Amino acid sequence: MKDSLGERGFYTVNFVILTAAGLVCLLPLLHILAVSLSSNTAIATGKVSLWPVEPSWRAYASMIEGTNIVRAFQNSLFITAAGTAFNMLLTILAAYPLSKRQFYLRRFFTLSLVFTMLFKAGLIPDYMLVKSLHLVDSYWALWLPGLISVYNMLLLRSFFTAIPEELEDAARMDGCSEWKLILRIILPLSLPVIATLTLFYGVAHWNSFFNVMIYINDSNKYNLSVLVQNMIQSSTLLTEMSNLNPEDYQMLTPESIKSASVIVMTLPMLVIYPFLQKYFVKGVMLGAVKG
């Protein structure tokens, strides 16, 4: 069946708008990448646009040698991996029982969790609580306050509710315990929404900035977001860098170092997203079938 003239027109306009929106997001990133790979002279004379001029990896090599970006990268990986694992574990354990109609207190706990989405104590009580638990300067201060996102939990609960109960009844008749049911039946069927929520949690932890600034005082524990922000705001970046050769000092500009740090921070998410993108739309849509 051929598309009507109106449908073809809609698809064309939609394609043009989305392409323009994609270019608006992509072109600044290409410019930053080009600056990070260009020479000092090309940057100073404004010759760099979307392609590197006199390409060189000097900015990346000097940044790795002269800053704590390697340590910050490792810290970001640890914060993201551990935090996402904790988030997904607690989200699954909360969403599964709340998806069962026979759970007597299902409505009470669901409304209690939704209440926390509408009313929050605020920044000062949160900090006082974290400090009273002696979690300041610890990564647990980043993980514990947000172990469960209520929105993500409700999304996963809706997905679990949409799974036919006949599958669970058949598994129980075959002698499957509740934990085996979750691990071998429920979770494999929920792979799209689990991948989607993992992406949500992972991006949030990777880009974590405000909480790190509040709760982490040791600069050796900073993640990439905080380190890159400090580098961007620094007016004497090159003089602050250690192990920088006089030759490198003459060949580099602060703009190239800052651009390189932005690329290093952005690249991991850009690499991971295509592998999860096929689950992303499917997971959100299927999780919204039932409320």
Indicate the range of 99-113, 164-178, 239-253 predicted with least confidence: 239-253
Q: Which one of 33-47, 58-72, 194-208 scores highest in mean pLDDT? A: 194-208
- Asked if 144 and 167 sit in the same domain, the reply is yes
- Asked if 29 and 126 sit in the same domain, the reply is no
- Asked if 121 and 189 sit in the same domain, the reply is yes
On the question of pLDDT at 92 being above 90, the answer is yes
Which long-range contacts (C-beta less than 8 Å, at least 24 apart) are formed by 65-70?
A: 65/243, 65/244, 66/241, 66/242, 66/243, 66/244, 67/227, 67/231, 67/241, 67/242, 67/257, 67/261, 68/219, 68/220, 68/222, 68/227, 69/224, 69/227, 69/261, 69/264
- Asked if 62 and 49 sit in the same domain, the reply is no
Mean pLDDT of the chain: 83
- Asked if 14 and 145 sit in the same domain, the reply is no
Distance CA 133, CA 277 (A): 38
Sign of the CA dihedral running 131, 137, 140, 144: positive
- Asked if 139 and 279 sit in the same domain, the reply is yes
The number of distinct structural domains making up the chain is 2
On the question of pLDDT at 288 being above 50, the answer is no
- Angle (CA) 89-93-94 rounded to 5° is 115
Residue 52 lies in domain: 1-56
> What residues contact residue 18 under an 8 Å CB cut-off, 6+ apart?
none
On the question of pLDDT at 238 being above 70, the answer is no
Distance CA 107, CA 27 (A): 48
- Asked if 95 and 127 sit in the same domain, the reply is yes
Q: What is the pTM of this model?
A: 0.83
Last residue in a domain, options 13, 35, 56 = 56
Average pLDDT over residues 216-226: 89
Average pLDDT over residues 138-150: 90
| Residue of 13 and 62 predicted with greater confidence | 13
pLDDT tens column, 254-272: 788 888 888 888 888 888 8
